[in-house]
Amino acid sequence: MEAIKIIAQYGATLAGRMLHYDATDSRMREITLRRDPDCALCGQSPSISRPVAGGENGTKSGRLREIDAASARNLLEAGFDGVLLDVREPDEYAWAHIEGSRLAPLSEFMSHLSELPPDPAYLVYCKVGQRSAHAGTMMLEAGFRNVTNIQGGIMAWIELGCPVAEG
């Protein structure tokens, strides 16, 4: 509703306020919000000056590339000369993983990040692609240049009928 009011320039918006609805007691209250002086968008020294366009992810080092599982399979079959990185947890890795992958769980990713060489190409995957996208973005922000996320993760890989290793 707020977006419609802003677009239509109709009525009073909730800018600087929040409307809280308590469904238990069917009550509403209005809360006044204070501006955060450290906010990257509206603070004392904003670092965000324009919307991010064209699918950029806002990382310092560039955009996280993504490929689907079929393209990843083709790349690996063609002799991918990089690191295949699995960012799931050890129990997920033991259940099934792509042969030749290196485990670096997202839950402890910062400690693994310092151990990873920054130069090779990386294919990063998880279960469905969200954690690996987060890890890939962290890698780009840390100075890695060639990082690609596998969309759909190992679930898309399995759906294609691609082989997995266990243990």
Q: Residue 62: what pLDDT?
A: 60
Q: Which residues of the chain have pLDDT under 70?
A: 48, 50-62
Closest CA to 64 of 76, 56, 72: 56
State residue 43's pLDDT score: 77
Query: Looking at residue 53, what is its pLDDT?
Result: 45
Question: Which domains does the chain possess?
Answer: 1-49 (no CATH), 65-159 (3.40.250.10)
Q: So what's the pLDDT on residue 2? A: 85
User: Which residue from 125, 112, 117, 111 is spatially nearest to 143, judged by alpha carbons?
Assistant: 117
DSSP string, 53-106: -TT----SS-PPEEE-HHHHHHHHHTT--EEEEE-S-HHHHHH-B-TT-EE--G
pLDDT at position 112 is 87
pLDDT value of residue 52: 52
pLDDT for position 3: 87
**pLDDT computed for residue 51 by the predictor:** 63
In degrees, to the nearest 5, what angle opens at C-alpha 136 toward C-alphas 134 and 141? 95
Distance between CA atoms of 143 and 161, rounded to whole angstroms?
A: 34
- Please state, in angstroms and rounded to a whole number, the distance separating the CA atoms of residues 78 and 40: 43
